Chain A
Amino acid sequence: MSGRRALTLVATREIRERLRSKAFIASTLLILALLAVSAVIGRLFDPQRTFDYAVTAPAPPGLAVALQRAAEPFDEAKVKLHTVDSAQAGRRLLEDDKVDALLLVSNDRLVFRKNVDAQVAAAADAAVRAVRNKLPPEPELTTSTLHPPDDEPGDAAVLVAYAGSLLLFMSLAFYGQWVISGVVEEKNNRVVEVILSAVRPRDLLAGKVIGIGTLGLAQLVLVVGFAVGLLVTGVFDVPASLGADVALVVPWFVLGFALYAVAYAVAGALASNQQNAETAAQPVTYALLTVYFASYIVLAANAEGTLATVLTVFPLTAPLVLPARSALVGVPLWQHALAIVLVLAAIYALVRFAGRVYALGLLHGGSGLGLRAALRIAREN
């Protein structure tokens, strides 16, 4: 039989048997429910915003009403209009953080202190149009800031980055655990002898990883799709532009899973008959945990430092660091490309190595095969 046919059969069996497990369906529903609940809670506790504008006297008639109407779409934000005598006075208020923006109607300018607040700007723009009886599309107001905008990522970006890498970490560990328990089960109850009498080890390995990976991907796409949907429809109070960063989690799950699942499978194959899946998984899970916390610490310390850049392209850390860093500070295209090339190279090397060690480990019962012994035998043959 061709390798691909065997691989497809193995992968299909993995998917079918696991789709039947209530745990899979329950966990998927649970994650979706948690996401929906967190969105609802976020809205419930989201304090109503007040947009504070300073405007030089005399304010155009009807501006206050127009601003209030324009702010309504933004979660029914309130508007407070501070009329000041001069632009100078307005700037002072802005410097002291008493207002969000200074509206210089005669100059068609809207001034912020450091960062442009898109909602405040949009409401002011709409209000000025309304007062002047003009329609979009041209922006009425030019925005500017008193100081150069700082590079601090917004709260939303931080949330997306850390939730994304946590989701990735948990998905890799969770589905990696499925891979290793599947391998250990096959090895311990000896069904692997019957399977390997008909299927090449590398096809069994690949079929298992691809089958379980497909399931994990389906679950992740569902969750991420739901999350992006919530973002885009504005249920989450997060800029929709971050949707792309959330979606980046999906391809990096695929790459990260290919890497870590193969490592889990090898750990399972090398385990002894007495070892259960949990203890056999420990080396890989600890590696994954280390990677996760190291990424967290490095990104929190300085997401733009050299170390963060190195971790962005290093194959073991890239799957967790790259999507997070992309949300936090953005990642240049060349780093995306380099990370993908390096992780693909690492997957290729690991799969080649695993194909040899996997069969040796699986067929070696009793005390289990140490990694060193497996390497030696693999070299000899």
Chain B
Amino acid sequence: MLSIDAIGKRFGEVTALDGCSFNVERGRMLGFLGPNGAGKTTTMRAIFGLVELDTGAVLWDGRPIGPVERLRFGYMPEERGLYPRMRVREQLAYLGRLHGLNARDADAAASEWLTRLGLADRADAKVVELSHGNQQRAQLAAALVHTPELLVLDEPFAGLDPVAVRTLAQVLRDEAARGVAVLFSSHQLDLVEEICEEVAIIDRGRIVAEGNLDALRRASERRRIALRLDGAPPGWEPEIRGADVVERTNGDLRLLVDRDVDPQAVLAAAERTAPVIGFSYGPPSLAELFLELVER
């Protein structure tokens, strides 16, 4: 299990991490969310010793992480990087060997991942000759080639087309099913909602929510109400104390209300205004929860 234990880091006047703590268990996939500059990348780099922490510690199975442990981790940094003029397969094999594989296993693993990620026909191309999407796949393969026990991926979905997103999501699910602890950051909250059961949300260097996504949503003090009226007067909204209009497009109205607001009363008020053709009530979406938690 990966334990981020009350880590703190200052860069000059800026506090990047302020007692950030959370865990990722083996076989689990954790979506790591937070606004830009909240401390996601610093946290991930700290796992690999790329940031010297001021306070706190990063632990693997309860023990401090050293160079030996890191060989069993896979990392995809925020800013992608491979040797541009090195051939893809050789580069993957090289990285595999740096992580302790012997030459034959490294070659085999490199070929296997290239096939699995649909890059087999580009195996002998130089990285610089690959398209942006294929470079992303090569970068992912670089994190996976040595069969790590912990995968740390910084914005792995950024810039991918929908097909590649689906492939990557499947790979991450498979890795988690194999028993790997998977930690990835993302701004694509709908995607995270779809593939993750657990999330940690960081804001200003502190974790503001952590745990099972459904439980977090249900625990929210807010509820979402979506209404579709057939010909409501422009600007109409039900009079509810503390309600926030999240979205308003031709007749569609999305509200966040306090948890104790009676949805039946809202529906009744709407029906008095115009015919209701759509109505839903439930816990806030991940995106709504996120905005609620990191509201400035």
- Min CB distance, B203 to chain A, in Å? 23
Can you name the residue of chain A whose Cβ is closest to the Cβ of B96? A198
Pair B98/A198 contact, Cβ less than 8 Å: yes
Segment of B74-82, B211-219, B226-234 in the binding face: B74-82
A65-73, A74-82, A96-104, A187-195 - the one binding chain B: A187-195
Contact A191 B82 (CB under 8 A): yes
Query: In this assembly, does A9 line the interface, its C-beta being within 8 Å of a C-beta of chain B?
Result: yes
Q: Measured between C-beta atoms, what is the minimum distance from A96 to chain B in Å? A: 68
Asked if A196 is at the interface (CB within 8 A of a chain B CB), the reply is yes
Task: Give min CB distance, B114 to chain A, whole Å.
Answer: 17
- A17 CB to closest chain B CB, in angstroms? 6
Does B82 lie within 8 Å of A194, measured CB to CB?
A: yes
Q: How far is the CA of A189 from the CA of B98 in the complex (A)?
A: 19
How far apart are the CA atoms of A185 and B73 in the complex, in Å?
Answer: 24
Binary per-residue interface labels of chain B (93-107) against chain A in the complex, 1 for a CB within 8 Å, 0 otherwise: 011011110000000
Q: Which positions 192-239 of chain A face chain B at CB distance < 8 Å?
A: 192-200
Contact B45 A194 (CB under 8 A): no
Inter-subunit contact A6/B50 (CB<8 Å): no
Whether the pair A198, B71 counts as a contact (CB closer than 8 A) is yes
How near does chain B come to A263, taking the closest CB pair, in angstroms?
24
What separation, in Å, do the CA atoms of A269 and B101 have in the docked complex? 28
Q: How far is the CA of A1 from the CA of B85 in the complex (A)?
A: 26
B124 close to chain A: CB less than 8 A? no
Contact pick for A194, options B67, B71, B81, B86, CB 8 Å: B81
Contact (Cβ within 8 A) A1 B45: no
Interface status of A13 (Cβ within 8 A of chain B): yes
B290 at the interface (CB under 8 A from A): no
Counting CB contacts under 8 A, is A133 at the interface? no
A339 smallest CB distance to B (angstroms): 37
Chain A residue, CB-CB nearest to B50: A363
User: With a CB–CB cut-off of 8 A, which chain A residues contact B50?
Assistant: 193, 196-197, 363
- Cα(A191)–Cα(B142), bound, Å: 11
How many positions in chain B have a CB within 8 Å of any CB in the partner chain?
29
User: B172-195: contact bitstring with A at CB < 8 Å (1 yes, 0 no)?
Assistant: 000000000000000000000000
Chain A, residue nearest B142 (CB) = A194
**Chain B residues with CB below 8 A from A381, complex form:** 52
Q: How far is the CB of B158 from chain A (nearest CB, A)?
A: 14
- How many angstroms from the CA of A13 to the CA of B48 in the assembled complex? 23
Cβ–Cβ < 8 Å partners of B143 in chain A: 194
Contact indicator A1/B71 (Cβ below 8 Å): yes
Binary flags per residue of A359-381, CB closer than 8 Å to B gives 1, else 0 = 00001000000000000000001
Complex partner residue of B77 from A1, A13, A17, A193, CB under 8 angstroms: A193
A188 to chain B, nearest CB (A): 9
Residue on A with the closest CB to B101?
A1
Whether A194 and B70, one on each chain, are in contact in the complex, defined by CB atoms closer than 8 angstroms, is no
Check B84 for interface membership: any CB of A closer than 8 A.
yes
Q: How far, in Å, is B269 (CB) from chain A's closest CB?
A: 54
Closest approach, in angstroms, between the C-beta of A2 and any C-beta of chain B? 10
**B45→A17 contact, CB < 8 A:** no
Q: A1-B71, A1-B100 are in contact. Are A194 and B85 (CB under 8 A)?
A: no
A193 to chain B: which residues have CB within 8 Å?
45, 48, 50, 75, 77, 79, 81
A residues contacting B by CB (< 8 A) are: 1, 6, 9-10, 13, 17, 185-186, 189-200, 363, 381
Write the residues of chain B forming the contact surface with A, with a CB cutoff of 8 angstroms.
45, 48-52, 67-68, 70-71, 73, 75, 77, 79-86, 94-95, 97-100, 142-143
12 further A-B pairs in the complex, CB-CB below 8 A; given A191-B81, A196-B49, A198-B95: A1-B68, A10-B98, A13-B94, A17-B85, A185-B83, A189-B83, A190-B80, A191-B82, A193-B48, A193-B81, A194-B95, A363-B51
A-B contact pairs, 6 of them (CB 8 A): A17-B85, A185-B84, A190-B77, A193-B81, A194-B95, A198-B99
